Amino acid sequence: MPMYGPYAQTSPSGLTSWIDDRRRPIPDHLRMMLGHLDGEEAFTYVIWRAPNPESILVRRSDIGETFIQAAGSADGMTIEVRQFGDDGKTHLYTVGKPQPAGGSTVLLPISAERSVRVFENEIFTGDEAAEIFAAFQGTDRVPDGFTLRELDLSTDQPVKR
């Protein structure tokens, strides 16, 4: 049986499909998809290792245990990753650059109605995010050197815009 995956995506327009390199190299594809985020109509992009790469169809409900997603615009986006921690369990983190977070926060749009508050070191351009996504694709982990701030899922993260 042919192999379609193992990574799938939900594009900024909301379409779910397999990621492949038939049209362009995968790092270029990731950069293009993240570049489509405009913070006005196209807010999010997500990739994940899907559980059945032999299936020609992939659905958003097929999301695996790990994923990486970006929200905002190509000029300023936040990255969240669900990956395995040292305890062998998955955790959801906001990714940050290695410099200190500082005290200032910024609201980034994640939908037409909602925004999320992040520290300044947790804001990436589309090109910066593409490098992190490319590293994740194949390893299911954010590369070393980035900070990971675990999200408290018992509280509502987004706020109204």
Residues 6+ apart with CB under 8 A from 152: none
**Burial class, 56, CB count within 10 angstroms (exposed 0-12 / middle 13-18 / buried 19+):** exposed
Straight-line distance from the first to the last Cα atom of the chain, in angstroms, rounded to the nearest whole number? 47
Confidence of residue 153 (pLDDT cuts 50, 70, 90): low
> In the structure encoding, which two tokens stand for residue 110, read together?
């994640």
Question: Percentage of the chain surpassing pLDDT 70?
Answer: 92
Question: What confidence tens digit (pLDDT) does each residue in 86-106 have?
Answer: 999 999 999 999 887 677 899
The residue extents of the domains of the chain are 7-160
Q: Which helix (H) or strand (E) holds 115?
A: strand 114-119
Question: What confidence tens digit (pLDDT) does each residue in 27-85 have?
Answer: 999 999 999 999 999 999 999 998 777 777 777 777 778 999 999 999 999 999 999 98
The number of CA neighbours under 13 Å toward the Cβ of 45 is 26
